[in-house]
Amino acid sequence: MNIRTPYKVKCSECGAENQLNMELECVSSYERKKGLDLEYISTFEGACPKCGGDLAVQVRVWEYPEGFVESYTVIMEGAVKIEEPDFINEL
Ligand SMILES: [Zn+2]
């Protein structure tokens, strides 16, 4: 599972659109009834190229059963969500 990039967010300081290159990293997996339950995290930390404001975005995804997004959360600081993340099944 990976996140489709660029993931677009808006700077909460100046409103500029920022295109983030993010990559999911598998941080945990365990066996459940229907197979593996996988958890991924992707963190972006950087500065808005227009105003220099700090941007922090974290996407967490739970994949279960394999190949399906069970749920996800997006946390942002200094940025505003303008689109939902889209996930790609790399299998
Ligand atoms: Zn900005």
- Domain ranges in the chain? 2-86
Q: What is the pLDDT of residue 90?
A: 74
| Tens digit of each residue's pLDDT (9 = 90 or more) over 18-69 | 999 999 999 999 999 999 999 999 999 999 999 999 999 999 999 999 999 9
Gap from CA of 13 to ligand 1 centroid (Å): 5
Q: How many Cα atoms are found within 13 Å in the side-chain-facing hemisphere of 32?
A: 12
How far lies 9's CA from each of 37, 56, 60, 69, in Å?
28, 10, 16, 21
The whole-angstrom separation of Cα 27 and Cα 25 is 6
Gap from CA of 45 to ligand 1 centroid (Å): 13
Gap from CA of 74 to ligand 1 centroid (Å): 19
Strands 87-88 and 2-3: antiparallel
Gap from CA of 10 to ligand 1 centroid (Å): 8
The whole-angstrom separation of Cα 40 and Cα 72 is 9
Task: Give the pTM.
Answer: 0.93
| Tens digit of each residue's pLDDT (9 = 90 or more) over 15-31 | 999 999 999 999 999 99
Q: What is the pLDDT of residue 91?
A: 61
Gap from CA of 56 to ligand 1 centroid (Å): 12
Residue type at 89? N
